[in-house]
Structures are given as C-alpha cells and as structure tokens.
C-alpha cells in the first residue's frame, strides 16, 4: 500500500517510504514520510521508549516501515496524519547526503546527475519521467488506433543509416559494425510488405561531440513510416499525434504538471516553407542566408515570432540540406519533400517523403559523397515493387523537455549519455 492509497484506508495501516524530514519539538515529534505517490506526516506524541529510541536513530532518507492509525489533521497536506504503534528502520541512510534533495540548496545539474537515484526522489524530478512515460503511452495509443503496427529494428548495423561519420564503431564478432544512428532504412523496408504502416520507440546513437542543451549521444526516438503517403500526409499525422499527446498529458498528469509548476496550452499549427522561414528570419534581423541550415539561434527566433507553445512546420527544404533518402520535388529537384517541425525553440521532428526509385536513390547517394555499394541491400529492396512512402521521427527526450518546460534535454533523460558522461 502506498501513501496515496493509505489515506482512504480504515483501521491500522503499514506503509514504507523514505524519511524526508525530522522535527523534534520535545513534547511532539514529526516524521515526514515520502514515497512515489506522495508524503504523509507521522506524529509521535507520548511515544514509548522504543519509539523514542528509534526516532533518535533516524536520519534523512532512511527507508523505514511504519504501522499505525490515521487521524484527521487540518495542518497535514493530505488531511490526515499517522500515529505510529511501531517503527522499523529497514535501511539507514548515511549522512551527510551527497546532494541536497529538499530543493532548498541549488545543486548543479552535473552533480545531480552524478547522484541521479537521489535526485529522482524529488517529486518534481520524478514527475518529469512520469510525464515522459505518458508521452510514450499516448504515442502508442494514437498509432494503435490508426492501425499502425509496432515494430523493433536492429540496434547494430553494417553501414550508416543517414550518411556521415557520426557512428559508434563496435566489434561484432570480428566484423566491423556500428550502433544504429537511426531506424530509417529498416522502417522503410517494412512499408514494402504487408505491414505497410509501422511505428516504433527505439534508442539510437550519434557519435557527435556536441556539448549543448539539446543534444545527447544516446537518444530515444518515436518513429513512423507509412506506405502510399507523401510529406503532407505524415505532417498531418505529426500534428495530430502531438495534439493527442499534449491533451492527454494535460488530462492525465495534472499532479506532475503541478509539481513542475507547468501549465500546458494546446498548440496551434504554423505552416511555413523553408524559404518563407528564411525571409521571416531575415526581416527579424537575424543574419541568415537562403541555403543556410536553420541554426539553434534561428529556431529560438522562430519560437519568439510564432509562440514557443506552437508547432512550426518548415517544408520544402533545399534538397542539399536533407539526407540522401528524401524525395526531391518532381518539378524542381533543388527542393525536397522533406520537413522539420520546431516547438519550444528546438527541432522536435524531421521527416518527409522517401525515394522509392532505385536509380534516383543511387544518384542521390553519390551526390551526398557516399558509396552506393555500402547501401546495396537497401537500394536493391526498391527493385521489387516499392510503394511511395513517407515518415518522420520525434525525439522522446526533446518533446518531454518542451512539455515540461526544461532548460536542458539531459533533465528529460534518466541516465544521460553525452560527449563527457558515461556514468552512472
């Protein structure tokens, strides 16, 4: 029985939790007990010698078991407090604690991550991951209802999924292999069989030495891929699933949002082409040229211009700025059917229509400075009847960062892996 469940129980109860606070007012003693569901005040008044001795031995963050009866209390958060008949110390906590988890003393994020299991005892921190779990559940719920099939693709691959050299090399039983930087190629293959519409939540790895507030080297992605779809089809699905997620978090995570002092607004949808975004940024005074990538500074500026709570879709990117597998426009091959979606001043999603024509795919691989031989299995898969298809991915940590109003994506990752951190 947890604390939240216990307050509606009649008769004696037994609960377990961590000692959050200890207060000795001589005639009256208090213990604030905490577990994942909430906090309960333990009142010791006219306690026995045994209880008094145990109280004197208690330290903050010790894990204890308390048996007793509930009494009404106007001062207590839950309207009740527990008068104990028995106390047991299950695991005594050493003192001093390596980090302050009361929230009264500011602790650097690095230090908090060093002691992450303690950091997660803070209600506002654990609330982030309850929200993140709900984001994943809502994502699955949405695509289950749309008739998509959940799949799992390899985490170890033989060649780059998206080109470039940002891969972690691994020794695969004497063969050269890499940690997957994307499920991209495999989810495309699945649209060419009876599965047709697929989704997945998967870890990916990027060997990029970034040290920013929005980059990790190990990421969780939420992906979809859909046969007989173009960029506009899947942009609509992205808009709808983000709305479904925000609405669901608002309805189902009110306590967690309250702990974070966060009020969510339903997002509006802003549709811009890449060139329209460049012109808007130029008029706002940002130094950016047509043909430049959209930088972090530009993403933040767009959020200022259109509202950080809104979804900003950027479509019809220059083909040269998109991966080799993105379909060029038929009438103007310099433009692509690729898009990004920004929210909260960061890029949340990237996607588009894929190339399903083997000759065009080979041409684009060469144009990107890659060797078609490294993608032979991938190119060959389009030679046996390939439907047009499209998809996208959303970073789970990034969307959680935006929903929770966090300043650093590491705060939305239980045990982050970045350019300097490999533990805990």
pLDDT, tens digit, 9 for 90 and up, residues 165-213: 589 999 999 999 999 999 998 999 999 999 999 999 999 999 998 889 9
Asked if 36 contacts 69 with a C-beta cutoff of 8 angstroms, the reply is no
Residues whose CB falls within 8 Å of the CB of residue 225, separated by 6 or more in sequence, listed in order: 187, 188, 190, 191, 197, 198, 199, 389, 390, 391
**In the predicted model, is pLDDT for residue 162 greater than 70?**
no
Q: Binning pLDDT at 50, 70 and 90, where does residue 1 land?
A: confident
Q: Do 134 and 56 have their domain in common?
A: no
Which burial class, exposed, middle or buried, applies to 60 when counting CB atoms under 10 A from its CB (0-12, 13-18, 19+)? middle
- The residue range of the domain holding 50 is 3-91
Mean pLDDT in residue range 85-91: 97
Q: Do 217 and 265 have their domain in common?
A: yes
Q: What is the residue-wise DSSP string for 56-68?
A: HH--TT-EEEEEE
Tell me how far apart the alpha carbons of residues 133 and 105 are, in angstroms, rounded to a whole number. Answer: 28
Q: Do 147 and 248 have their domain in common?
A: yes
For residue 248, tell me if it sits in a domain. Answer: yes
Q: What are phi and psi of 163, to 5 degrees?
A: 80, 180
DSSP class of residue 326 equals B
Q: Do 303 and 373 have their domain in common?
A: yes
Q: Do 79 and 130 have their domain in common?
A: no
| Count of domains forming the chain | 2
Q: Do 27 and 128 have their domain in common?
A: no
Q: Do 69 and 138 have their domain in common?
A: no
Mean pLDDT in residue range 404-408: 97
Q: What pLDDT does 164 receive?
A: 59
Q: Do 192 and 330 have their domain in common?
A: yes
* Highest-scoring range by mean pLDDT, 47-51, 114-118, 370-374: 114-118
For residue 112, tell me if it sits in a domain. Answer: no
For residue 105, tell me if it sits in a domain. Answer: no
Per-residue pLDDT of 100-113, as tens digits, reads 998 888 899 999 99
For residue 391, tell me if it sits in a domain. Answer: yes
Per-residue pLDDT of 288-328, as tens digits, reads 999 999 999 999 999 999 999 999 999 999 999 999 999 99
- CATH code (residue 50): 2.40.50.140
**In the predicted model, is pLDDT for residue 125 greater than 90?**
yes
Q: Do 310 and 224 have their domain in common?
A: yes
Q: Do 80 and 213 have their domain in common?
A: no
pTM above 0.75, yes or no: yes
Q: Do 262 and 362 have their domain in common?
A: yes
For residue 101, tell me if it sits in a domain. Answer: no
């Amino acid at each position: 029985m947890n604390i939240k469940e216990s307050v509606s129980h009649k008769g004696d109860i037994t609960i377990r939790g961590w000692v959050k606070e200890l207060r000795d007012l001589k005639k009256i003693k208090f213990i604030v007990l905490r577990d994942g569901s909430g906090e309960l005040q333990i009142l010791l008044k006219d306690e026995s010698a045994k209880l008094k001795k145990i109280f004197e031995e208690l330290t903050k963050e010790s894990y204890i078991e308390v048996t007793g009866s509930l009494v009404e209390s106007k001062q207590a958060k839950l309207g009740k407090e527990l008068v104990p008949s028995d106390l047991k110390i299950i695991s005594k906590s050493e003192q001093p604690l390596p980090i302050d988890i009361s929230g009264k003393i500011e602790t650097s994020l690095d230090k908090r991550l060093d002691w992450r299991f303690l950091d997660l005892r803070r209600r506002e921190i654990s609330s982030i991951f309850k929200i993140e779990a709900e984001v994943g559940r809502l994502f699955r719920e949405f695509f289950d209802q749309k008739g998509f099939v959940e799949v799992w693709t390899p985490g170890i691959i033989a060649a780059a999924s998206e080109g470039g050299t940002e891969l972690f090399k691994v020794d695969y039983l004497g063969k050269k292999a890499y940690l997957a930087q994307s499920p991209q190629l495999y989810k495309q293959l699945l649209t060419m069989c009876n599965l047709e519409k697929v989704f997945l939540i998967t870890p990916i790895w990027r060997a990029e030495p970034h040290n920013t507030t929005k980059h990790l080297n190990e990421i969780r992605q939420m992906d979809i891929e859909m046969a007989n779809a173009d960029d506009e089809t899947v942009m609509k699905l992205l808009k709808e699933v983000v709305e479904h997620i925000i609405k669901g978090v608002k309805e189902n995570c009110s306590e967690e949002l309250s702990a974070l002092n966060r009020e969510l607004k339903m997002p509006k949808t802003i549709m811009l082409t890449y060139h329209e975004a460049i012109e808007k940024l130029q008029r706002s005074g940002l130094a950016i040229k047509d043909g430049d990538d959209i930088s972090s500074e530009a993403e933040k500026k767009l959020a200022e211009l259109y509202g950080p709570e809104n979804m900003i879709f950027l479509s019809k990117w220059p083909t040269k700025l998109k991966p080799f597998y993105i379909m060029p426009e038929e009438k103007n091959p310099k433009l692509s059917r690729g898009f990004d979606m920004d929210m909260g001043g960061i890029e949340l999603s990237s996607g588009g229509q894929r190339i399903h024509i083997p000759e065009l795919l080979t041409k684009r691989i060469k144009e990107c400075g890659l060797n078609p031989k490294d993608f032979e299995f991938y190119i060959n898969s389009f030679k046996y009847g390939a439907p047009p298809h499209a998809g996208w991915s959303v970073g789970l940590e990034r969307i959680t960062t935006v929903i929770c109003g966090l300043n650093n994506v590491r705060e939305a990752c239980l045990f982050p892996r970045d350019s300097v951190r490999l533990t805990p």
